[in-house]
A and B are shown apart, each in its own frame.
Chain A
Amino acid sequence: MRVAISVVLIAILLVLAGSVTAQSVRPPGDAVNLEDSNTLGPSNALGNLSDSDIWRDFRGGDPMNIDDIIRGPIEGQMMTRSGQLWREIRENYIRKYAGWFPVGVIGILALVYLLMGPARIKSGFSGKTLPRFNLNQRVAHWFMASIFIILGLSGLIILLGRPVILPIFGPTVNSIMTSAAMQGHNLFGPLFVVALLWMFIKFIKGNFFQIVDLKWMIKLGGLIGGHVSSHQFNFGEKTWFWMVILVGIVMSATGIALEFPWLFDDLRVLQASTVLHAVGAILLISVSIGHIYIGTIGMEGSLDSMLKGEVDENWAKEHHDLWYEKVTGKSATDDSTEVTKEESGS
């Protein structure tokens, strides 16, 4: 399970690295700048220039000239080659492969569930509970979760409508769904920023990395080498927290650029934003599926921590022993575990 997430994570990071190089390509320019084209473009195209000169003017600039690439579209220019490059990345890489990441994660998780089943509390439920998340943390979490689901689904429709919905359901359905998804996505986008900030404030405590997390990581969360210790949040949870926060910041920034393009007025920013936004989204969506799995059917006793705010004592001993010892002042490994086991069995 954790291995799966790591594999997916690395793959996604590779894509992300690739996209970093992609963001410096030149954007497609104001392809229909009517005012300029009236004076420089087609309006005087019937003059004394040859066809190839006209097309050169249309395309504009020297594709090998780095200054042109960085400065962006030249005034009056009707075509940009960087736009073509951006389009190729979007169509040939992102749209082609993006959908497979979440699908792959779901497939792996289904396999894990079928082969290994959910992670049970080894010593059974003790019947005694410990408070884990307070009400404000729970509300912040579910607020973020709601916004995330709406944005994730509508975003996937926007990104994958053409390659997935269009061939199956036809252009009308695709058009309706894409229009709806775009409106929904734009409307809920700003709320993500609010939710992110709220999450950050409510969960930052306890989410800094510690030495014990290194051991957790080396043992892959207990998959190899037996029991792993952890404080209130383990390495996986901390990584997820920081991923949400850091990638979330990128998503917020690029999202704002795309929703309010006049704030930047620069096509390079917008082109880079679409790429980053899509890659970040696929990363978060894929990992969130793992998060949802562990939080619900994947691990016994973990959903209650977010619904009721409380976890079973035995759950805490097994998954967050150091936290258990800190809040209860008791040892997580003494023999009382055996006693509670018998009690709960009777």
Chain B
Amino acid sequence: MSYIAFVEGPLFLIAATVFVLGALWRVIGIIRIGRKKDISPPKGSEAVGFIRGNLRHFLPRGIFARRTWVHIVGGYGFHLGLFVLVLFAAPHIVFIDERLFSVPWPALPRWGFIIAADIAFAGLIMLWVRRISDPVMRLISDWDDHIGSWLTFLVMFTGCLALQESHVFLRATHMLFVDIWLIYFPFSRLMHAFTFFLSRGNTGATYGRKGMSL
């Protein structure tokens, strides 16, 4: 079996399975730990608070802007750029079209791809260099943070190196990193992509119960 056939075939299937089942297992595992039912007389709705908490924490509070701006710019830049790349890059759409389902939206033109990629890379690099140069982040970061950042970078980077679509080797290397990333994901802090709504929601629900509108 050729390199490309392996990373796009069996390895991709294994990786995608590990990703889906692992992520589900972990989210369900967290929820299944359970918590005692709160019997204090509520002043407001927990469900509304859950949603409100999720929405509220998308926006920073002005008073903290001085320190947070690098994270806001870098964080939003990276995540939005990444989502655009994943969903709208032409080769991705072709890949999904061929294997899974027909993608109903159009591919990004090349200039759009470059802008999205530049923003995503700038954001990711900003986030990581801050991690190595801020005493607070240096103290609280662990190897998982760095591996997660680097793996994501390598997935994006190898993808961009393959942009000329002139060598199958480059495309296969991109896929290899995608596979590794998918397998690493459920066991790592990359899972924040799925756990954030629980965390924000739980706090929001507590606030909601107390009738607070934060």
Are B133 and A142 in touch, CB under 8 angstroms? Answer: yes
Q: A179-B166, A183-B161 are in contact. Are A143 and B129 (CB under 8 A)?
A: yes
Which of chain B's residues have a CB closer than 8 A to the CB of A138? 129, 133-134
Q: A307-B133, A309-B133 are in contact. Are A191 and B121 (CB under 8 A)?
A: yes
Are B163 and A187 in touch, CB under 8 angstroms? Answer: yes
Which of chain A's residues have a CB closer than 8 A to the CB of B134? 135, 138-139
Are B133 and A139 in touch, CB under 8 angstroms? Answer: yes
Give the Cβ gap from B173 to chain A, nearest Cβ, in Å: 9
Cα(A141)–Cα(B170), bound, Å: 31
Give the Cβ gap from B210 to chain A, nearest Cβ, in Å: 35
Are A146 and B160 in touch, CB under 8 angstroms? Answer: no
Interface residues of A in 228-276 (CB under 8 A from B): none
Which of chain A's residues have a CB closer than 8 A to the CB of B117? 187
Is B126 located at the chain interface by the 8 A CB criterion?
Answer: yes
Which of chain A's residues have a CB closer than 8 A to the CB of B169? 176
Are B118 and A191 in touch, CB under 8 angstroms? Answer: yes
Interface residues of B in 156-208 (CB under 8 A from A): 157, 160-164, 166-167, 169-170
Give the Cβ gap from A250 to chain B, nearest Cβ, in Å: 21
Which of chain A's residues have a CB closer than 8 A to the CB of B114? 186-187, 190
Other-chain residue from A139, A180, A190, A191 in contact with B161 (beta carbon distance below 8 A): A180
**Residue picked from A138, A139, A147, most chain B C-beta under 10 Å:** A139
Give the Cβ gap from A151 to chain B, nearest Cβ, in Å: 12
Which of chain B's residues have a CB closer than 8 A to the CB of A142? 129, 132-133
Cα(A227)–Cα(B118), bound, Å: 46
Is B146 located at the chain interface by the 8 A CB criterion?
Answer: no
A139-153 interface bits toward B, Cβ cutoff 8 Å, 1 = contact, 0 = none: 101110111000000
Is A85 located at the chain interface by the 8 A CB criterion?
Answer: no
Is B79 located at the chain interface by the 8 A CB criterion?
Answer: no
Is B34 located at the chain interface by the 8 A CB criterion?
Answer: no
User: What size tier do the contact residues of chain B reach?
Assistant: 20 to 34
Cα(A139)–Cα(B134), bound, Å: 8
**Residue picked from A135, A145, A180, A186, most chain B C-beta under 10 Å:** A180
Are A191 and B129 in touch, CB under 8 angstroms? Answer: no
Which of chain A's residues have a CB closer than 8 A to the CB of B130? 135, 139
Cα(A184)–Cα(B133), bound, Å: 25
Is B106 located at the chain interface by the 8 A CB criterion?
Answer: no
Is B107 located at the chain interface by the 8 A CB criterion?
Answer: no
Are A307 and B132 in touch, CB under 8 angstroms? Answer: yes
Q: A306-B133, A308-B135 are in contact. Are A187 and B164 (CB under 8 A)?
A: no
Are A176 and B167 in touch, CB under 8 angstroms? Answer: yes
Is B122 located at the chain interface by the 8 A CB criterion?
Answer: yes
Is A194 located at the chain interface by the 8 A CB criterion?
Answer: yes
Q: Is the interface of B mostly helix, strand, loop or mixed?
A: helix
Is A44 located at the chain interface by the 8 A CB criterion?
Answer: no
Interface residues of B in 54-68 (CB under 8 A from A): none
Cα(A100)–Cα(B163), bound, Å: 31
Cα(A252)–Cα(B112), bound, Å: 21
Is B94 located at the chain interface by the 8 A CB criterion?
Answer: no
Which of chain A's residues have a CB closer than 8 A to the CB of B170? 176, 179-180
Are A146 and B129 in touch, CB under 8 angstroms? Answer: yes
Of all chain A residues, which has the CB nearest B158?
A180
Is B43 located at the chain interface by the 8 A CB criterion?
Answer: no
Other-chain residue from A175, A180, A309 in contact with B135 (beta carbon distance below 8 A): A309
Are A187 and B125 in touch, CB under 8 angstroms? Answer: no
**Residue picked from A143, A145, A181, A308, most chain B C-beta under 10 Å:** A143
Which of chain A's residues have a CB closer than 8 A to the CB of B164? 179-180, 182-183
Cα(A307)–Cα(B141), bound, Å: 14
Which of chain B's residues have a CB closer than 8 A to the CB of A180? 161-162, 164, 167, 170
Is A188 located at the chain interface by the 8 A CB criterion?
Answer: yes
Other-chain residue from B70, B125, B128, B162 in contact with A136 (beta carbon distance below 8 A): B70
Are B138 and A307 in touch, CB under 8 angstroms? Answer: yes
Which of chain B's residues have a CB closer than 8 A to the CB of A188? 118, 121
Interface residues of A in 165-203 (CB under 8 A from B): 175-176, 179-184, 186-188, 190-191, 194
Are B118 and A146 in touch, CB under 8 angstroms? Answer: no
Of all chain B residues, which has the CB nearest A133?
B133
Q: Which 5 A-B pairs have the closest CB atoms?
A: A142-B129, A180-B161, A138-B133, A183-B163, A176-B167
Known: A143-B129, A180-B162. 17 other contacts (CB 8 A): A135-B133, A139-B126, A139-B130, A142-B129, A143-B122, A145-B129, A146-B128, A179-B164, A179-B167, A179-B170, A181-B161, A183-B163, A184-B157, A184-B160, A190-B114, A191-B122, A307-B132
15 contacts between A and B (CB under 8 A): A138-B133, A139-B126, A142-B132, A146-B125, A146-B128, A180-B161, A180-B170, A183-B160, A183-B164, A188-B118, A191-B118, A191-B121, A191-B122, A307-B132, A307-B138
A residues bordering B, Cβ < 8 Å? Answer: 135-136, 138-139, 141-143, 145-147, 175-176, 179-184, 186-188, 190-191, 194, 306-309
B residues bordering A, Cβ < 8 Å? Answer: 70, 114, 117-118, 121-122, 125-126, 128-130, 132-135, 138, 157, 160-164, 166-167, 169-170
